[in-house]
Chains A and B, each alone.
Chain A
Amino acid sequence: MRRTGIALLNEGEGRELLKKRCREAGISVTTIEDLIRIELQNVGRGRRAGIFERIDEVLEQEAGFSSEPSVPEQRSMFDVYPNHPAP
């Protein structure tokens, strides 16, 4: 499972909520993840050049105007650590 990088949306229940809301809105979960990834990739950046072009690409793909993958996933060794289960 790809992670959004947002704890709010990565928790088991939280993610289910995201999926439910996406289903209701007819929007792919991947689109939300891609958009959040774009934001995370811009954390700490003074300039936000290019961010709207990237958002546009994701929305274009979601709208079905483009078949190109919008945000190539960056995998790294630090990608995902499972959360500790709640006590």
Chain B
Amino acid sequence: MYIQTIQLRNWKAYASATLEFPKPGKKKNVVLVGAKNGYGKTSLLEAVLLCLYGKEAIGLLPRLSSDNVSDDKRPQSYDDFLERALHIQATQYGQASASVSLTLADEDDGDVVRIFREWHFTGGGKHRRGEEEVRIYQGPEGEPLHIPRNEDREEFYASYIAQNILPPSLAPFFFFDGEQVQRLAQRELSEQVKQGIEGILGLGTVKDLQKDLRTYATNHKSSARGMGDDKLKQLQLEVQAIEIRLSNNEKELAHLAPQLEPIRRRRDELVRELKAATGGNAATTEELYRKLNEDQRERDRLRERLERLLCGDLALALVGRPLRTLLGRRLTAEEERSQWEVSKAQSSDKLVRLANALKSGTPPIEPPLTKEQAERLDERLQIAWESLWHPAPTSCAAEYRHPYMGTQERHGVRQRLEAVDRLAVGELEELLDKLGNLEKSIRTMQSRISSLREVGDKAQQMTDEMKHLSDREKEIDLRVRDLQREITADKGLHAQKRPALLKELDQKQRSRPELVKVALAEKIIDLLDKTVEDAYPRNVEAIASWMSEAYREMAHKKQVREIKIDGDLNVQLVGERGRDLRSFDSSAGESQIFALSLIAAIANVVRFSVPIIMDTPLARLDVEHRLKVLDYFTDRAGEQVILLSQPTEVHGQYLDKIRSRLSARFLIEHEELGDGLGLNRVRPDCYFEA
């Protein structure tokens, strides 16, 4: 697609102008438009943008974001811009409107589309909002584009242009001026790449679609009656869980309950068998053993007593009572002698005290006793004192026959002898009788136990089985009760939840088409996410590849071998040795080369085939870069490139560089009208050199 005609009426300094561009050829594809600074080059670029996008173009206009325009001259709004754009003489001549017409043609089949946009103003030059006219004509006959019924004309046209010519988001990569390139170059490389790539990949459109699908899903979900999917699913799961639990419990109950009766029956049988086997009492054997043990312990006790009787008391009893009596008396006499002797010994102290009292008491003996008299007195006293104890009592033994015994031993022997005296023959007989009975009882019990032992093993087995059955019955009975309780509870719960679920399912069924569409919308959102995620790196690779190509072609320093962009849009300028060269200071010109490479890459990657319009793009570049940039951007066989140049930009060697590619040239001449106003005229087939 190329621009065939640009027609301006009352647009800036152009009262009326028509620029007709030839179809770009394979060798001649460049249109060169020359104008001095301030003489209408940028006005041409703005006319193209305003014609295509109307008020949408306001963010794309170079003049609005230019650092070189003072605030008082910078348009503040769409209205402001248009009011400044209206040719100064228009209102004077009663022409309260301005228009731009852009005719584009297809290089291959020659199909033509003309976009005409007209703005209306008051007599005072104020923009009449709402009176802006857009018309699109198609085909050789210039048929107006059919607008579907109920479609807003302006919106329909905007959509048509975005789809079929170029979306406004991509316009800065096809229609740009040097300042835009410079501004782009001043950004971080990754920022530049991000802006470019997201624009060309149409992420905005995809995101818009996802947003609309989300809104659609939300609206339709809430309009679909019944509870949300999550809640319904929860209810379904609950009912399902209850049903599964019920089924399992009923199955288990059906399996367990019938087992109880046979177990109980068998248990009763065993009780009966055991009674029979153990003489009617299951505990007989055990009791017999217990009784046997008791009797054996008693027998042992009696035997011990008998032994003691036989070994001790029996010998004393056999010596006879007279001898025991004699010994008893003898021991008593010896005890009395012992006591007499003790009393006598205790009285010796009293004798000494008596003697002393006689000899030294008052009144004193006069004349005092001589020594001999005193000795004789002591002897007499001694004899007299002795006489008091003699003869010894008759009950005292004359001598000791058992001097080895003391008082206590004598007493113990006497008591033992007395006990033997008291020992009755009947007691021994009774002891022997008891022992005899016990022996008999023990023998009987041993006999019974022996007879019972034969059925003991069987009884033990039965007891074990009975215990096992009893445990099992208890276990099953407990489980059966639990199951019955759970089943009752679950049946109640099921009776409550199931109707609620059926009701919701019924409602869901009735709103199914809505929910199906909602599910589809959500699925598509997810699908787009995944596709973008997958496709993004691949497109980034393509951009990086095209940028590498463009950069190598345009940069005169050949250090950069390739431009790499990773998934996070980090940019690397890879040198010949594989090093990232971003750390090296690059000149303003080199930064612009990067920005231009990005622009070129984007223009190459996107599907839109539109002309490139470059407004004074070479200003900050050195000679070699200018040549290379001109060469690279104009080398687009069959694709139109429109260069808007000032006299010092594309001239001399630069002009020579592209001369062979020129398909048309124009010179914009400016006539001063006074008060800083002027009138532009377009001279075809003319350039500064002419």
Contact = CB atoms under 8 A, between A and B. Distances in A.
B164 A13 contact: no
Nearest to A43: B162
Contacts of A14: 531, 535, 538-539
A59 to B, nearest CB: 4
Contact of A43 (B109, B158, B531, B604): B158
A8 B604 CA distance: 14
A60 B521 CA distance: 10
Interface in A1-59: 3, 5-11, 13-14, 17-18, 21-22, 25, 27, 31-32, 35-48, 50-52, 55-56, 59
A9 B545 contact: no
Instruction: Please name the 3 residue pairs, one residue from A and one from B, whose CB atoms are nearest each other, closest first.
Output: A44-B158, A77-B111, A6-B202
B449 interface: no
Contact of A76 (B164, B203, B209, B534): B164
B549 A74 contact: no
B517 A51 contact: no
Given A32-B527, A44-B155, A81-B607, A87 B206 contact: no
Contact of B524 (A11, A31, A48, A81): A31
B513 interface: yes
A51 to B, nearest CB: 6
B458 to A, nearest CB: 74
A29 to B, nearest CB: 10
Interface stretch (B187-195, B213-221, B392-400, B463-471): B213-221
B684 interface: no
A61 B528 CA distance: 19
Given A44-B161, A55-B216, 19 more contacts: A5-B607, A17-B534, A25-B524, A27-B523, A35-B209, A37-B163, A43-B158, A43-B163, A44-B158, A44-B162, A59-B520, A59-B521, A63-B520, A65-B517, A78-B1, A78-B113, A78-B165, A81-B609, A86-B545
Nearest to B151: A50
15 contacts: A5-B163, A7-B202, A10-B607, A18-B531, A21-B527, A21-B530, A22-B527, A44-B162, A48-B212, A52-B216, A56-B220, A78-B104, A80-B607, A81-B609, A86-B546
Given A74-B163, A81-B609, A46 B527 contact: no
A52 B56 CA distance: 23
A63 B528 CA distance: 18
B252 interface: no
Interface string B405-443: 000000000000000000000000000000000000000
A6 B216 contact: no
B587 interface: no
B534 A27 contact: no
A21 B529 CA distance: 10
B246 interface: no
Contacts of B520: 27, 59, 62-63
Contacts of A39: 205, 208-209, 212
Contacts of B178: none
Contacts of A48: 212
Contacts of A87: 545-546, 548-549
A49 B200 CA distance: 26
Q: Which of B219, B528, B545 has the most CB of A within 10 A?
A: B528
Contacts of A50: 150
A53 to B, nearest CB: 10
Given A25-B527, A77-B111, A87-B549, A8 B162 contact: no
A10 to B, nearest CB: 6
B219 A45 contact: no
B39 interface: no
A83 interface: yes
A6 B109 contact: no
A13 B535 contact: yes
Contacts of A78: 1, 104, 106, 113, 164-165
A68 interface: no
B527 A27 contact: yes
Contacts of A79: 164
Contact of B535 (A11, A45, A46): A11
